[in-house]
Amino acid sequence: MKTIIEPFRIKMVEPIRMTTVEERRGFLEEAEHNLFLIAAENVIIDLLTDSGTAAMSDAQWAGIMRGDESYAGARSFYRFQEKVQEITGFTQVIPTHQGRAAERILFGLLGGPGRVIPSNTHFDTTRANIESQGSEAADLVIAAGLDPGSLYPFKGNMDVGRLEELIRRVGPGQIPVCMLTVTNNSGGGQPVSMDNIRRTREVLNRHGIPLFLDACRFAENAYFIKRRESGYGERSCKDIAREMFSCADGCTMSAKKDALVNIGGFLAMNDEELARRARNVLIVTEGFPTYGGLAGRDLEAIAQGLEEVLHEDYLAYRIRTAEYVGEKLEAAGVPFVKPPGGHAIYLDARAFAPHIPPREFPGQAIACALYVEGGVRSCEIGSVMFGRTDPQTGTHLAPPLELVRLAFPRRVYTQSHFDYVIEVILKVHAGRSSLRGMRITYEPPALRHFTARYGYR
């Protein structure tokens, strides 16, 4: 059959509260135009993030009941450890409460003033954890990764030429680790090819620099490799994932994505000495090494989720969802990052609202309009999240892309929900000339998008 269906039946439902345009205008004003500050019950379709928003399976809920809550050596930890080892091949497995806790531990041990940590593109929490140690976070994605219209199949790839150049310029001794984000969330959820992972590895090998994957969406990346890279079509996604991890020395993982759970993460590696030091930090900041920041029941759910996420019918449905939305937007002439990534559609805000300059946050203006129009919550990934003000000149330094991300929670929404979202986007696009630029009225010192306040120009 041509139609790819949701490969699950719905056993429990969560009602959606309908609201009017007028009501939503009021909620947005109360939240001072920050969508993170809107109560979730006032959102109709919540595409703010795919992180921690998955629907768990019956087997995962059963695991929740089986969770062993012993402080030390819980049965659930061993099940979790075994599954992570099976999929990643890494021997040392350290549970954390979510991905950023793994990042905090890793960069706390490896970072420091004068150090540089390259990646294809660091996610915001990764960048913040690197910079808070006084290190520099360098984004080295290939040029196609910064061109929203390019149809290159692996736009998340690392520019290995620029990586070599960076190593030559700062010296390998200043680069304690290199990251590869799979898939590349900040760059449009674009995949990294196996060939590129290998070539990155080869460059690093020549200089004795370890490679860690930011593996939040490893299964989606594996599926793209299967579909798009020659020689992988007949291989299982589990096998491909194993090969991806085999090229790395370790990984940070937010289990809130491709482990299909609502909370959790881990740090995994082969270096026993580094793992020993990481566990010492873990005990101070997260908890005992056999639970990290998690309950035994969470570890059970992660172990089960890591198994389910690699099922090929699940991945086919998952990737098809973004493709489907992309096809409808393409047909209507709405600009977005092409080809669609794995977990989200990213509207190209510069092309969508070209009359709003980056310093007036076109992405934020579009995100607010999507909320008012249809109660759809999305997330700006552009000048709000990554823009800076030059301290000398006071001018706005814009990031390469101005995007609005509509991230898809896993196994939560059906095709008719997505048809509704498409209708809302098309309506906002049709009225785009009336969108107004915005200004920030309050911002905190770091990660400003979470708590900033805005007004219209």
Give me the residues that bind ligand PLP (CB under 6 A), please. 51, 98-100, 123, 125-126, 181, 185, 214, 216, 254, 256, 265
Q: Which is nearer to ligand PLP, 51 or 378 (CB)?
A: 51
Rounded Cα gap, residues 174 and 157, in angstroms: 23
Q: Which residue is nearest to ligand PLP (CB)?
A: 99
Measured at the CA of 266, the angle between CA 270 and CA 247, to 5 degrees, comes to 40
Q: Which is nearer to ligand PLP, 254 or 321 (CB)?
A: 254
Structure tokens at 137: 């976070």
Give the pair of three-digit tokens for residue 129: 């954890």
User: Are the beta carbons of 330 and 113 closer than 8 angstroms?
Assistant: no
- How far is C-alpha 61 from the geometric centre of its chain's CA atoms? 24
Report in angstroms how near the CB of residue 125 gets to ligand PLP at its nearest: 4
Residue type, 40: A
Q: How far is the CB of 9 from ligand PLP (least distance, A)?
A: 29
> In whole angstroms, how close is the CB of 262 to ligand PLP at the nearest point?
11
- Minimal distance in Å, beta carbon 440 to ligand PLP? 22
Give whichever of 101 and 237 is closer to ligand PLP, judged by the CB atom.
101
CB of 397 to ligand PLP, least distance (A): 22
CA 50 distance to own-chain centroid: 8
Q: Report CA-CA distances (Å) from 195 to 244, 281, 313, 332.
A: 10, 35, 25, 35
Within 156-252, where are the H helices?
160-170, 194-207, 218-228, 237-246
Burial classification of residue 39, based on how many CB atoms lie within 10 Å of its CB (0-12 exposed, 13-18 middle, 19 or more buried): exposed
CB 272 within 8 Å of CB 25: no
* Nearest residue (CB) to ligand PLP, 53 versus 334: 53
The distance of closest approach from Cβ of residue 154 to ligand PLP in the complex, given in angstroms and rounded to an integer, is: 16
What minimum distance in Å lies between the beta carbon of 218 and ligand PLP?
A: 11
Handedness of CA 424, 53, 449, 150 (dihedral sign): negative
Nearer to ligand PLP, 176 or 265 (CB): 265
Q: Which H or E run includes 332?
A: helix 312-332
In terms of Cα–Cα distance, which of 372, 395, 369, 396 is closest to 382?
396
Q: Which is nearer to ligand PLP, 126 or 190 (CB)?
A: 126
Q: What is the nearest approach in angstroms of ligand PLP to the Cβ of residue 123? A: 4
CB of 441 to ligand PLP, least distance (A): 26
187-to-282, 329, 380, 403, 404 alpha-carbon distances in Å: 30, 19, 13, 9, 11
Closer CB to ligand PLP, 99 or 342, in the complex: 99
Taking the C-alpha atoms of residue 175 and residue 167, their distance in angstroms, rounded to an integer, is 7
**CB-nearer residue toward ligand PLP: 192 or 369:** 192
Q: Which amino acid is at 191?
A: P
Taking the least distance from each CB to ligand PLP, the nearer of 60 and 119 is 119
